[in-house]
Amino acid sequence: MSEQRFGGVHWIEHHAQRLAVMPEAGGGVVAWQWVRDGEPLDLWRAWDGRTARMQALASYPLLPWSNRISGGGFEHAGRFHALAPNTPDDPYPIHGDGWLQPWQLTRSSDDGVQMRLRSAGFGGSPYHYEATQSFTLVDGGMVQALSVVNRGEHALPFGLAQHPWFTRTPACRLSARVGGVWLARPDKIPTGYTADFPEGWNLGQGALVDRLVIDNGFGGWDGEALIEWPERDLALRMHSTLTLPDGSRTRPDCLLYAPAEPPVFCFEPISHPIDAAHLPGRPGWTEVAPGQSMVLSVVWRFSTSPEDRSAATA
């Protein structure tokens, strides 16, 4: 991605928070900060202002599907849809194409922003869609929503996810009720689902993120999570909901990515597991007819002291 795409940072400030978005850079977020005692405190890992890679931003949207798809594409309704790799360092197409296109800032006010993307077969993709993402600063947190409408002529399976980055500290703990984990090959493609967690991976018991090297999806999540940084006297809670094309609401899955280096991690709400198109039953791989939509909503709340983890681990 070129340096030119990394321009046009737009800031808003409200409720003792600062939010910066960069619509042209894949609708990405540059920073989300809490102004505590007069000083900005990063709630998401902030962009360094130099590195022209989407993965260096604080967060970015994943659509019209998330994570990796193997096999050169997927089959739906008797037709194979080819998908080519879209990054230089991964053999599989990853994270859809919304993060690779410039968005438009369509609304800005004291307390929120909205961005929109109209995508039509980007890079040979079979997807034609309209997407909207909004961020609203509220007292003590933020409400975030990502929606997609199928603007194509045929029904296709869609997926949504968010990709926020966090700073990893030695005592950082992630707590989330999950039912199991997708084990995977070295290339990250799942090999099977199990409730027998590898050591340290049971998020329901609270995971010390700094001790993990992981890039795996989890199922059976109830949509609630708590991240604590005792060294920073900071706790961040999230509540995530997925609205399906028929209007019903459910809970998404989640994914934890913690590399060996640098000291960062991602905890992502995802509507479907990695490579859902090729898993038995295609879990979460949701058909969206022309004109129908899906919405992924996340409510974030921050506090100065660690909260009662029982809400996320009971």
pLDDT digits (tens, 9 = 90+) for 60-78: 999 999 999 999 999 999 9
**Distinct helix (H) and strand (E) counts, the chain:** 1, 26
pLDDT band at 304 (very low <50, low <70, confident <90, very high): confident
Euclidean distance between the first and the last CA atom of the chain, given in angstroms as a whole number: 43
pLDDT band at 52 (very low <50, low <70, confident <90, very high): confident
- Give the three-state DSSP class for 39: strand
Compute the distance between CA of residue 74 and CA of residue 247 in angstroms, rounded to an integer: 26
- Which of 305, 310, 304, 306 minimizes the C-alpha distance to 37? 304
Place of tokens 């296709």: 156
Tell me: pLDDT of 194 over 50.
yes
Tell me: pLDDT of 11 over 80.
yes
**pLDDT, tens digit, 9 for 90 and up, residues 82-130:** 999 999 989 999 999 999 999 999 999 999 999 999 999 999 999 999 9
- Give the three-state DSSP class for 123: helix
Supply the pLDDT for residue 311: 44
Average pLDDT score, the chain: 94
Supply the pLDDT for residue 7: 74
Distances in Å between the Cα of 125 and the Cα atoms of 34, 61, 119, 214, 275 are: 38, 17, 10, 29, 16
